[in-house]
Amino acid sequence: MDTMWNTVTGQYFNTVNTISAECGRDILESTLVLCECFEGLLSKTREGSDVWRLNHAQGEWVLISAHTQRILSMALTMYETTNGAFNIAMGKAVNLWHFNDKKQRVPGREELRRALAGADCGRIEQKGDSARLPAGMEIDLGGIAKGYIADEIGAYLRECGVRRAVINLGGNILTIGSKADGTPWQIGLQYPVGDRAKREKYWGLLHSRDNSIVTSGCYERGFWRDGTWYHHILDPRSGMPVQNRVLSVTVRTKDSFLADAVTTPLLILGEREGMELAERYGVEVVYYLKNNEIVYTRGTELMLVREG
């Protein structure tokens, strides 16, 4: 049997996904089928997905998959524990920016205010295998879905008997086992800067053995307009990109669903409140701040990379 180290790559969830594992190509090809299925459930633009049907149901109950139910529940918990900083109900405001297509633009304040009216996750209802949004609300699971999907792919690979793998869904990383020599994977932390050449370099390393490492940053997805950089993580109070001391935040914990769910609010809340949130959820966190300062949870084994 072909049990060499193999890699597959696919474009899903508006990003590039690379899955490498010590297994045959057939198993790896199936992970891309899983990605395709999750895109079909969670995409807000794909007609007929769970999210699309929720967003277009005009206040009616919608039957959704158990996966979507779990992601919704986690998102609602995050909304509560972050006092609304993490808000999936801002779909309309996110759409106005067109971060994922060529029509990127800076929306006006009034337009954003209208898009945010009623964006209150407390009004999302779940019952059994159905959910309901108030008419006019649109949800966006972009800040939380990839972690859930990474865990599902990890569980599938384990069921197939795979002992070593690195699942990278656009920077949302989950590792299984260790490298062939028994040492942990070393996950590089990129410089959170616009300059591509510099970004390709790592400033730090976190080791990972059966861990997830997820980064949220202000530098990756966004656009320049009139000398200002507009990035894709929005302050739910204004609908504008979050402005604080944070350039990027990385989380390490066992479970990728939690890691992804918590990184976006950690970026929004900033390093002070963020440290408390990290403690509450028992995750390790590393902040890279705008003044190049690095702040991290006590005990985190972060290896700094020397330049040159």
Query: Which residues are at the interface with ligand ADP (CB under 6 A)?
Result: 86-88, 90, 94, 99, 140, 142-143, 146, 170-172, 216, 220-221, 232-234, 236, 260, 263-264, 268
Minimum Å gap between C-beta 105 and Mg ion is: 24
Q: Which does residue 271 touch among Mg ion, ligand ADP, none (CB within 5 to 8 A, set by kind)?
A: none
Short-list 171, 207, 206, 203, CA closest to 190 = 203
Which residue's beta carbon is nearest to the bound Mg ion? 264
Strands (E), the chain: 5-12, 15-22, 62-63, 125-127, 130-132, 165-169, 172-176, 185-190, 202-208, 212-217, 222-225, 228-231, 246-253, 284-289, 294-296, 302-304
For residue 77, how many other CB atoms are within 10 A of its CB? 13
Residues 6+ apart with CB under 8 A from 226: none
- Among 91, 107, 143, 265, which residue sits at the site for Mg ion (rule: CB under 5 A)? 143
263 binds Mg ion (CB under 5 A): yes
Minimum Å gap between C-beta 53 and ligand ADP is: 18
Minimum Å gap between C-beta 180 and ligand ADP is: 29
Contact 299, 258 (CB under 8 A): no
171 binds Mg ion (CB under 5 A): no
Minimum Å gap between C-beta 76 and ligand ADP is: 12
Which sign, positive or negative, has the C-alpha torsion 293, 299, 302, 306?
positive
Q: Which does residue 149 touch among ligand ADP, Mg ion, none (CB within 5 to 8 A, set by kind)?
A: none
271 binds Mg ion (CB under 5 A): no
- Among 50, 138, 151, 260, which residue sits at the site for Mg ion (rule: CB under 5 A)? 260
Distance CA(256)–CA(215), nearest Å, equals 11
Nearer Cβ to ligand ADP (72/90): 90
Short-list 61, 69, 17, 18, CA closest to 42 = 69
Which residue's beta carbon is nearest to the bound ligand ADP? 142
Furthest-apart CA atoms within the chain: distance in Å = 61
Nearer Cβ to ligand ADP (92/146): 146
Summarize as ranges the residues that interact with Mg ion (CB under 5 A). 143, 260, 263-264
